[in-house]
């Protein structure tokens, strides 16, 4: 019988542990729990390979992301076992990508990761005074900057890498420091992904004593716009090209290729439909911000196939588009000059989760999530991204800068 089951490619993001040696003030995860069992990691890898092999007979490339918490807490023997598992599939080229705070990196770790082709990314928010504001050791107020830089320098020595991949969280405290941030990452020769702190799922119904801290960290849309403009101007007119910001390059691409659709949604790379999060118990999630809530799981790798997990994810996404993204009351992207290219952002899923929580509070089944009601904090957000107004201000600036350069080039 012909197999008519739809196939969806997957990029697993494996949360090696939810635990961490740091306690960053903006982190959305509960830092507790054990290291993922090797049998669980093995199931994720095997089922990913077999789901790919079922419809693709050519040599396959599979991306695996290793995240946490802090994944290096698993120890080097854990990753040696992972390589042993991957070596069972010589027909597959595995691209292992690991995100770390860098503080636990050793010579042994660095040599191992370089030998086995792991791409390492580091979490670093900028200069020491800025990084240490929020990235501190668990149980103390000691900043982690010096240890993180030791890890980066160590990795660079082994990898002989020209540019170091960095994820930098931008909070309200970063807004007036765009020039310092640029100079720091240029000196480091970094390839930076910006992660602007926004309203998270767990912030929708914050505890009363936590509310002020949470919203203090989130910049206003206008502040985000001006921050990005300053950063863009430094980058766009810097001929040394010592630092790269992928988001800024994509913004220029949007101007040069107006028919280009960036994705759905665009602003968060982790929202790529294929990117699917697995927690240490094997539960699968659409987004790592849901990982503390097992009720949001798409399935479990120990009992569900990749196809069924991704099919459920697809049905949910189609349902979200039908009930959230198409609604004129809750969707402003269609009226935005950038809507077609930008394709919205994280608020799509934030609104879905708010409606889900509201439906549950009324005793409704999760399948009836669209019968819930948005809290006032989300109703006042016109678009699908908290920073829409700031992004529009920023993009108009980018458009003028690019068009001016094109005019000069044509003279």
Q: Per-residue pLDDT tens for 253-268?
A: 989 988 877 666 655 5
Ordered DSSP codes for 107-128: HHHHHHHHHTTPEEEEE--SSH
- Terminal Cα-to-Cα distance of the chain (whole angstroms): 65
Kindly list the distances between the CA atom of residue 28 and the CA atoms of 18, 59, 203, 290, 293, in Å, as whole numbers in the listed order. Answer: 11, 38, 9, 9, 12
Alpha carbon distance 273, 278 (integer Å): 14
- Give the CA radius of gyration of the chain: 22
pLDDT in tens, 129-174: 999 999 999 989 899 999 999 999 999 999 988 899 999 999 999 9
The domain locations on the chain are 307-410
pTM, two decimal places: 0.91
Give the per-residue pLDDT at 379.
Answer: 74
Alpha carbon distance 219, 212 (integer Å): 13
Alpha carbon distance 125, 97 (integer Å): 20
Per residue of the chain (411 residues), give pLDDT as tens.
Answer: 444 455 678 999 999 999 999 999 888 777 888 999 999 999 999 999 998 754 455 568 999 999 999 999 999 999 999 999 999 999 899 999 999 999 999 999 999 999 999 999 999 999 999 999 999 999 898 999 999 999 999 999 999 888 999 999 999 999 999 999 999 999 999 999 999 887 665 555 555 455 555 567 888 889 999 999 999 999 999 999 999 998 899 899 989 988 877 666 655 555 788 899 999 999 999 888 776 677 789 999 999 999 999 999 999 888 888 888 765 444 567 778 887 777 677 777 778 888 888 898 899 998 899 999 888 777 777 666 778 889 999 999 999 999 999 998 776
145's enclosing H/E stretch is: helix 145-159
Give the per-residue pLDDT at 53.
Answer: 58
């Amino acid at each position: 019988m012909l197999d008519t089951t739809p196939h969806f490619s997957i990029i697993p993001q494996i949360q090696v542990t939810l635990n961490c040696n740091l306690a960053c003030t903006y982190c959305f995860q509960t830092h507790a729990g054990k290291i993922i069992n090797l049998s669980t990691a093995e199931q994720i890898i095997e089922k990913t390979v077999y789901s790919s092999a079922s419809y693709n007979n050519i040599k396959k490339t599979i991306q695996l992301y290793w995240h946490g918490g802090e994944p290096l807490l698993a120890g080097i023997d854990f990753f040696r076992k992972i390589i042993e598992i991957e070596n069972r599939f010589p027909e597959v080229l595995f691209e292992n990508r690991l995100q770390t705070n860098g503080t636990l990196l050793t010579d042994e770790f660095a040599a191992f990761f370089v030998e086995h082709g792991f791409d390492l990314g580091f979490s670093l928010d900028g200069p020491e005074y800025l990084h240490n504001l929020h990235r501190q050791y668990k149980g103390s107020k000691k900043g982690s900057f010096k240890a993180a830089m030791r890890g980066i320098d160590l990795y660079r020595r082994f990898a002989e890498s020209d540019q170091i991949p960095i994820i930098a969280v931008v909070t309200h405290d970063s807004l007036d420091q765009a020039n310092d941030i640029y100079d720091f990452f240029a000196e480091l020769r970094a390839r930076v992904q910006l992660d602007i702190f926004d309203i998270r799922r767990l912030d929708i119904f914050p505890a009363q004593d936590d509310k002020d801290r949470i919203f203090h960290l989130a910049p206003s849309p206008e502040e985000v716009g001006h921050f990005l403009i300053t950063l863009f101007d430094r980058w766009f007119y810097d001929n040394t090209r010592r630092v790269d910001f992928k988001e800024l390059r994509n913004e220029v691409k949007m101007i040069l290729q107006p028919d280009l659709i960036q994705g759905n949604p665009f602003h968060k790379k982790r929202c790529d439909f294929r990117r699917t999060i697995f927690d240490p118990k094997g539960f699968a999630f659409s987004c790592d911000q849901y990982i503390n809530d097992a009720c949001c799981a798409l399935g479990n790798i120990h009992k569900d196939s990749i196809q069924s997990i991704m099919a459920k994810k697809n049905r949910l996404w189609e349902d979200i588009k039908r009930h959230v993204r198409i609604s004129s009351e809750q969707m402003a992207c269609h009226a935005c000059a950038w809507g077609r290219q930008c394709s919205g952002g994280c608020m799509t899923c934030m609104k879905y989760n708010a409606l889900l929580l509201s439906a549950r509070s009324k005793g409704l089944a999760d399948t009836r999530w669209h019968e819930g009601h948005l809290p006032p904090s989300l109703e006042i957000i016109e678009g699908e991204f908290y920073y829409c107004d700031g992004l529009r201000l920023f993009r108009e600036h980018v458009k003028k800068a690019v068009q001016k350069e094109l005019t000069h080039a044509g003279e």
